[in-house]
A and B are shown apart, each in its own frame.
Chain A
Amino acid sequence: MMQPQLAETLPWQGWRMHTRRDDVRDMIALVAQALAGGDTELLYYGFAPGDGEDSGAEPARELVAVTMDRSQREVIWRFGRCEAGHPEKSPQAYFSSPVSTPQSAMTVYPEFPSLASQYPGALWIEREMWEKTGCVPVGHPDLRPILHPEKVLPDPVARGSGTFHLPLGPVRADVTESGFFLFDTIGEQIMHMQPQLFYKHRDIEKLAEGMTAEDALLLAERISGTSTAAHATAFCRAAEQALGYRPSLQNERERMLFGEMERLYNHVHDFSQIASATGMTVAQAQFARAKEELLRLNAEVTGSRYLRGAVRLGRSASVDWERGAARLSAGLPAIDRRVRHFVRLLLHTPTFIDRLRPTGIVEREWAKAYGVVGPVARACGLAVDARSDCLRHLYESTGHACMTAEDAFGDALSRFRVRVREWDVSQRIVLELLPSLGMSTLVETELSLAADRGSMGIGVAESPRGRVSHVLFYKNGKVVTWGIRAASAWNWPVFGLATANGNIQTDFPIIDASFGLSYAGLDR
């Protein structure tokens, strides 16, 4: 196993980091037990690079689960090795017809006990792990391929007289990304809905293997265009921890600022989408205009409308902060006034409220069981926000507060209201951070990219859609293994449940807009 080098970097200041190696059964049981406690969140779950001791054709796979205990302020990396397994049907066997499946498709694959059987948040993750490596999560309740929608699509679940199956996608209206949705309906009522994604799977984690951290950062920025700053920040934090580099406070403050600039344009985009879904054309156009103004502000300050190149590894952004701060503090208040005005109008429009309440309810229990993050979780009253749990000491001075919904209904209206409250907080953080930027006289220490020992790191950031976490194993100046968990990866599995939760077909665009999910973030 790689030797962990868990330098206390600024984002993790005050936290303890532990690594544990257990028998794989104990490991999964311990993770499941911790997650059931309520104070622990799963930051990452996947495969770690092995130690290369096995010289066989199929090396034993090493599992890693990184959990964060909020009350104890601990991050625990748990490792466990897959065991030799039983003959299993390979993922490939699903792609051919059952009649022609040859006996040779039954191969012995390594296995591990399924975490998803106790923690539904791991359902999609384990399907992906199985399909990529063949390692079998034993006891997984719904083991089907997930990565090849062009070969395998979901089967209808609700059957019988009067049921109707409506496939939607993968090509959809507007410029929405590709996704396939299978609705089982009786009349207008949605009985069941299964999303099938991964049309945009680029295998970014694999592409980065053997790259330097600086090259991989370019990939991190392109995981999901609308969360560029969040992914770049999480990646840089992971890489800097792996390299034992401590970023300056100035550097971290810039990243926080970019993160909030990103949240502002994303939230106003979501306002525009929900206005569109409810037929509020004036509001839709006005919010779209505000979004464009925010993108132009981004471009003026950083040189990129989507904040590409702003977050840099071990270096401050190349931004003229005097000019940038002047532009932001001049531009933001006007946009803010307009957005507030139209939000107020919407919240006093009966047809808008009628369509949002009680549409697409996410039950609080689901949100907990699936590890839902971001505004979707906060709309259920769960105080899940990376900025107030693991990054609290960074955000303390900014007046950030985790915004949960006042009514915590978990429906589209709660999600809209949470975003409205977050809009206020974000633009306040931006204005409060501005004076402290560009003032640093400290000379930054040089980051050496060629750390010659094996090391690992975890980086977390709060994207507009929730927590993103990156896990990086780095050796001899190259990426060995990279793991990405975007916010949407936790929220997508609940989307189908919320859509079928007593809603009708015409509610779907509203539920879709209120979740504001990223396809590319999950597919990656």
Chain B
Amino acid sequence: MRAEWLLAGLASGRVTTTYPRQRKQELSRHRWNSVPTMNGPCSDTACRGCSEVCPTEAITRGEAYGNAALRLDVGACIACGRCVDRCPEGVFSWAEAIDRAEVGKELLISTMEGGADHDG
């Protein structure tokens, strides 16, 4: 019995991944990239499409953050992908990887204003 287990284990060969050497490729290949990210500033200051479709209010936009500013709280995001589908300017896309860790919830909030990304 023991020999059978040994052979069965050895016969399956080496199974490994290229993570973390090719971190982004590996994660996005197997759909480990299911959080949205902001690519750049939004030029349409009147549009509220992204914040309207967001079911958890993870995306906010408006006076409180400056009219052009976008605020994305990945901690509140449920990765439904509505913003990625909705935005005509392509501001949102799937992040390349989700292996991100922070020690505080507030560190998961990023804002985008006037072309500069104020992460955290």
Q: Would you call B30 and A296 a contact (CB within 8 A)?
A: yes
Name the B residues within 8 Å of A113 (CB-CB): none
- How far, in whole Å, are A93 and B55 apart by their CA atoms in the complex? 36
Does B8 sit at the interface, judged by CB under 8 A? Answer: yes
A window 350-366: CB within 8 A of B: 350
With contact pairs A218-B78, A309-B81, A341-B8 given, residues A349 and B30 touching in the complex (Cβ less than 8 Å):
no
Interface size class of A (residues with CB under 8 A): 20 to 34
Does B103 sit at the interface, judged by CB under 8 A? Answer: no
With contact pairs A218-B80, A345-B4, A348-B1 given, residues A286 and B12 touching in the complex (Cβ less than 8 Å):
yes
Using an 8 Å CB-CB cutoff, how does the interface string of B11-43 with A read, 1 for contact, 0 for none?
Answer: 010010000000000000011101000000000
Q: Would you call B78 and A222 a contact (CB within 8 A)?
A: yes
Chain A residue with Cβ nearest B11? A341
Chain A residue with Cβ nearest B81? A309
Does B104 sit at the interface, judged by CB under 8 A? Answer: no
- The interface-forming segment of A60-68, A145-153, A300-308, A398-406 is A300-308
Name the A residues within 8 Å of B81 (CB-CB): 309
Name the A residues within 8 Å of B30 (CB-CB): 295-296, 299, 305
Interface size class of B (residues with CB under 8 A): 10 to 19
Q: How far is the CB of B18 from chain A (nearest CB, A)?
A: 14
Q: Would you call A282 and B8 a contact (CB within 8 A)?
A: yes
Does A289 sit at the interface, judged by CB under 8 A? Answer: yes
Give the number of residue pairs across the A-B interface with Cβ within 8 Å: 40
Using an 8 Å CB-CB cutoff, how does the interface string of A185-203 with B read, 1 for contact, 0 for none?
Answer: 0000000000000000000
- How far, in whole Å, are A289 and B81 apart by their CA atoms in the complex? 28
Q: How far is the CB of A372 from chain B (nearest CB, A)?
A: 32
Does A21 sit at the interface, judged by CB under 8 A? Answer: no
Q: Would you call A282 and B5 a contact (CB within 8 A)?
A: yes
With contact pairs A286-B12, A309-B80 given, residues A345 and B31 touching in the complex (Cβ less than 8 Å):
no
- How far, in whole Å, are A304 and B32 apart by their CA atoms in the complex? 9
Does A15 sit at the interface, judged by CB under 8 A? Answer: no
Chain A residue with Cβ nearest B15? A289
Does A338 sit at the interface, judged by CB under 8 A? Answer: yes
Tell me which of B9, B78, B79 contacts A282 (CB under 8 A). Answer: B9
- How far, in whole Å, are A113 and B32 apart by their CA atoms in the complex? 50
Q: How far is the CB of A446 from chain B (nearest CB, A)?
A: 19
Question: Can you show 9 pairs from A to B with CB atoms below 8 A apart?
Answer: A218-B78, A285-B9, A296-B30, A296-B31, A303-B31, A304-B34, A308-B79, A309-B80, A349-B5
Q: A218-B80, A304-B31, A348-B1 given. 5 additional CB < 8 A pairs?
A: A286-B9, A305-B32, A338-B12, A345-B5, A349-B5
